[in-house]
Structure 1
Amino acid sequence: MEASITAVQPVAANPIVLNERSRKTVRTLINASHRNLLFLDKVVDWEQGIDFSKPPKVAESSWIYGTPYWDALTPEQQNEVLWLETGRDVSYFIWLEQTLPELYVGYVNKYHGALTDDVREYLMVFSREEIVHTLMFRRYLEAAGLRLWSHPENIPNYSLFEQQLAGKHPVYGICWNLLIEWFAELNSIFQTQTDGIDPLTRTMFREHHTEELRHIAFAKTVCENYFDTAPAGEIAEMCDFFQKGYGFLLAEYTYMPEIALHASFDFPIKPDDAEAIAAVRNSPNNQRLNEQRFRDVREWCLKYNIIKA
């Protein structure tokens, strides 16, 4: 008896619909990615290593700079704080960029018969680049002698938010990725691309930024096409959903309580001191930093009613 073969039925509707101008943008991103690949062994001079006589980021960008907590630290402790904060930034890139290939290739598999060729290819290109980024950042942690911070799923607000993404329209996943990567990129470039920063750290974040700019452009293109064509009720529901995510990201990129668990000294802010954490997140220096470094993502979110003025 011959085995019967059942054809896999394609999903009826394409979930990522782009106008012709946007499809041209995606094709441009694809070509740029194929021309300019990031190679792990060449992105920085790993053999030369890190210059620990220089900081990994500007002091003014520290989460606790401009507060009595910072002023009470010794210069050695202040330097350690800068490295620990950089370790958090790198760890978040690792956790995010390990997740995205599964998400995006999942879209390719689920909607295999519906996606246009250009969108399908860029989802795959995107995934390849994120895998290399993850390997690069893990190598950096080892070179810097930094520990990997906890997975964000251990943070209750983040975990609950992520769980709600399951089963939602793919644009939800792409928009969430956009917000996370945009926050992360604006933060890392703002604090590392100045003279006096460790050269390896500065170069790594700059080279990473080149590819991430393409990722952000793709996600913005997909989201903006959705906002232009989706029913008003669906858009309102999506914007309400991501308003919560925006608030979470702003808080976590301003101050992360886990730093107290990584410090070699008695860190002045305990992980469960909600009052002190809130005060630091709302310090004048952090308000100024957030106004400057996150301006682009804030203005985009205001434009599309993800947040309110």
Structure 2
Amino acid sequence: MATMDDTAARDRVEPTGAGAAEHEDVARRLLRSSEMLSFDPAHEVDWETPLDTAHHGASPEWCTLYGTAYWSELTPAQQRELTRQESASVASTGIWFEMILQQMVLRDFYAKDPTDPAFQWALTEIADECRHSIMFARGVAKLGARPYRPKRHVVELGRAFKALAGGEAAYAAILVAEEVLDVMQRDWMRDERVAPFVRTINNIHVVEESRHMTFARDEVRERMAGAGALRRHIDSFVIAAAAYFIVTSMVSDDVYAAAGLDRARAVREARANEHHKSMLRSSCAGLMEFLGSAGLLTPPARAIYRRAHLL
């Protein structure tokens, strides 16, 4: 009986000739970049200084309630606490998805040529993600928040996705999660209203994830070369569904109660918040352009992205 690893290996279209050389060159460049510019969060982040509650946990404009009537009723201290809880939720969701990412990458490169620069880059990426997850976990604790988790059905769907997804579907889903985080974290890391240690965490993640996104884009391009219409439709649907559950899980409904707010009212106003929907759409403009160029933006996929406010 063929294993899932065997299936993933068959599904991958290995680049040949000029394509193979270009693919290897991308991996080599990323390895060199990692050697020159990587961080150790254990030493780069100020973990010792106590949390200053005069700072936000994220740029207020990215808060799910920003621009609503409820937001205007909150005191500055309540607004700061809410952004800290939401930042902790985003970090917690990041850990959850990075665990999925690591398993998919390991499965993809199982029993492949270890001298291949792409193989070595894959291990480098996994090492980065391990450090990021520990960094996020320590960040959640320092924010004075508890770890948030996606809803149970989303956790179980993630369990199935990491076991079954392969090829371009896996790498494009990785790209979706990282692209959305990248845009918001670029705002947070430059914002002096945000706690300094959170800004450092965001800076580390942005720098190192830029390499991961470069590799994911390259993998998607290579694997989609010559793909037929049926494969494109299936992949586009799977990727869009994964994107929907990732993005809608970033901020848990539980953050509102943790921040001392009326949970039911906060959830209602957040879901109707056109400002936050606009922020999400703007963060995904480049991603949607890339998916379209790769043939992964079919009408059913577009409908899912619109439902998640990514398009």
Q: Per the shorter chain, which TM-score range?
A: 0.7 to 0.9
Q: Spell out, residue by residue over 1:43-93, the C-alpha distance to the aligned partner (whole angstroms, 9 max, x if none).
A: 222233543322122222210111122123232222211111001111112
Moved more, 299-308 or 179-188: 299-308
Give 2:186's aligned residue: 189
Q: Which moved more, 1:260-269 or 1:239-248?
A: 260-269
**1:114 deviation in Å?**
6.0
Q: Establish whether residue 73 from structure 1 lines up as the match of residue 74 from structure 2.
A: yes
Gaps of 5+ in 1: 1-9
Corresponding residue number in structure 2 for 1:287: 277
When residues 169 and 87 of structure 1 are mapped into structure 2, their CA distance, relative to the original with a 3 A threshold, is closer
1:305 matched to 2:308: no
Instruction: Report what 2:144 is aligned to.
Output: 145
Q: Which residue of 2 aligns with 1:216?
A: 213
For residue 229 of structure 1, give the secondary structure of its aligned residue in structure 2: coil
SS in 2 for 1:41: helix
Instruction: Give yes or no for contact 1:165–1:172 (8 Å, CA) kept in 2.
Output: no
Q: Counterparts of 1:283 and 1:14 in 2: how far apart (Å)?
A: 41
The answer on whether the counterparts of 1:56 and 1:83 sit within 8 Å (CA) in structure 2 is: yes
Work out the CA distance in 1 between the residues paired with 2:114 and 2:271: 42
Query: Does residue 252 of structure 2 align to residue 256 of structure 1?
Result: yes
Residue 205 (structure 1) shift: 0.4
Aligned to 2:244: 247
**Does the 8 A contact of 1:14 with 1:114 survive in 2?**
no
Q: In structure 2, do the counterparts of structure 1 residues 108 and 98 end up closer, same or farther at CA, with 3 Å as the change threshold?
A: same
Identity of aligned residues (%): 20
Letter in 2 for 1:176: A
CA distance in 2, matches of 1:229, 1:243: 21
Change in Cα spacing, 1:82 to 1:23, as seen in structure 2 (3 Å) is same
C-alpha deviation, 1:295, in angstroms: 2.0
The answer to whether the Cα contact below 8 Å between 2:104 and 2:166 also exists between their aligned partners in 1 is no
State the TM-score, normalized to the length of structure 2: 0.82
Distance 1:39 1:217, change over 3 A: same
Partner of 2:231: 234
| Aligned counterparts of 1:249 and 1:269: Cα–Cα separation in 2 | 23
Higher mean Cα deviation, 160-169 or 84-93? Answer: 160-169
Partner Cα separation in structure 2 for residue 245 and residue 222 of structure 1: 18
Structure 1 or 2, whichever has the larger Rg, is 1
Per the normalisation by structure 1, the TM-score is 0.82
Give the stretch that moved more between structures: 53-62 or 14-23: 14-23
Query: How many corresponding residue pairs?
Result: 289
- Residues 260 and 269, structure 1, Cα contact 8 Å, conserved in 2: no
Question: Do the aligned partners of residues 159 and 61 (structure 1) sit closer, same or farther apart at CA in structure 2, a change above 3 Å counting?
Answer: same
Uncovered stretches (5+) of structure 2, i.e. residues with no partner: 303-310
Aligned to 2:49: 48
Alignment of 1:1-309 (within 5 A): 13=10, 15=12, 17-18=14-15, 19=19, 20-109=21-110, 112-113=111-112, 117-150=116-149, 152=150, 154-157=151-154, 159-160=156-157, 162-164=159-161, 166-253=163-250, 256-269=252-265, 276=268, 280-303=270-293, 304-306=295-297, 307-308=301-302
Offset at residue 222 of structure 1 (A): 0.2
- After superposition, the C-alpha distances for 1:2-58 in whole angstroms (9 at most, x for unaligned) are xxxxxxxx9675826242223211110111112223213222222335433221222
- Give a deviation string over 1:239-271, Cα, whole Å, max 9, x none: 122222333344444x53232343334335376
Note the aligned Cα RMSD (angstroms).
2.7
Is the Cα–Cα contact under 8 Å of residues 87 and 149 in structure 1 kept in the other structure? yes
